[in-house]
Amino acid sequence: MVTTELKGKNILVTGGTGIGVGAGICRAVHEAGGKLIINGRRREALDAAVTRYPGSVGALGDIRDPMQVEEIFRTVEGRCGTVDGLVNNAGVGLSKPAHEVEESEFDDLFSVDVKAAWLMTRAFIRRLLAAKRGGSIVNVSSVHAQATMPRYSLYAGAKAGIEGLTRGLAYEYGEYNIRCNAIAPGYVHAEQNYDLIRTWTEDPQAWVHQHTENHQALPFEITPEDCGELAVFLLSERSRCITGQTVRIDAGMTTMLYNRDFLQ
């Protein structure tokens, strides 16, 4: 659905080169009339993403590196001007029992899912304060921050950290008209998810079907576009009085005390 909610706004989306939630956010920002700025670590994937959204801008860089973060913002400012909205979408997963996780795996998870989001946010806020402008931050969390499952202890911890950061930033910078919210998707289906799901079941297709039918209040799959529409709302002036919130986009999964099979 094409709108003009973000017309005239520069929106930077980290990790926007994939086909999951980030792609849905990029598509929604583009269709809402925003100037889409896509961050990615690999040139080939970034170039491909930019071609999907005419008029968009690529911002190559590893957001775990503070020097590259600064270069990303300098490049963007040179081409587009001040960034109005930041979506901290980049993230990695980890499905492994906590006692088997290596320190390097822990560091990789938290460096992308938490530290990189903070580095990007820090650079963004510094520029807004210097320009005396307001802005909006949308962090991508997960339902795992509220309710999780075996093998996801560390991932749940990382996403819980993102939600705490979201609340703190909202309070700390609200007086400057800088808002910060988070979206927390449930299971968003994509074909590449099957490899991850195989870490706990031999039949990933059946698991996805059962999850949709029995473990959600709404019996249909959540799409990347659903996540994108929510992000656009939180980036736009329609949500001007909303800050410090985490909105769960999980088809009602975290509201359920028992799954549907239990009630039969």
Active-site residue, 258 included: no
Query: Out of 53, 152, 155, 187, which one is annotated catalytic?
Result: 155
Q: Which amino acid is at 107?
A: D
Q: CA-to-CA distance for 66 and 72, rounded, in angstroms? A: 10
Q: How many CA atoms does the CB half-sphere of 110 hold within 13 Å? A: 13
Residue pair 199/262 in contact (Cβ under 8 Å)? The answer is no
Which residue carries 């503070």 as its tokens? 66
DSSP 129-155: HHHT--EEEEEE--GGGTS--TT-HHH
Q: In what order do the strands lie in the sheet with 35-40?
A: 57-60, 35-40, 10-13, 85-88, 135-140, 178-185, 246-249
What is the spatial distance between Cα 224 and Cα 133, in angstroms, rounded to a whole number? 30
Q: Are 194 and 259 in contact (CB under 8 A)?
A: no
What DSSP designation does 111 have?
Answer: I
C-beta separation of 17 from 45 below 8 A: yes
Q: Which two tokens stand for residue 69?
A: 């973060």
Active-site residue list:
155
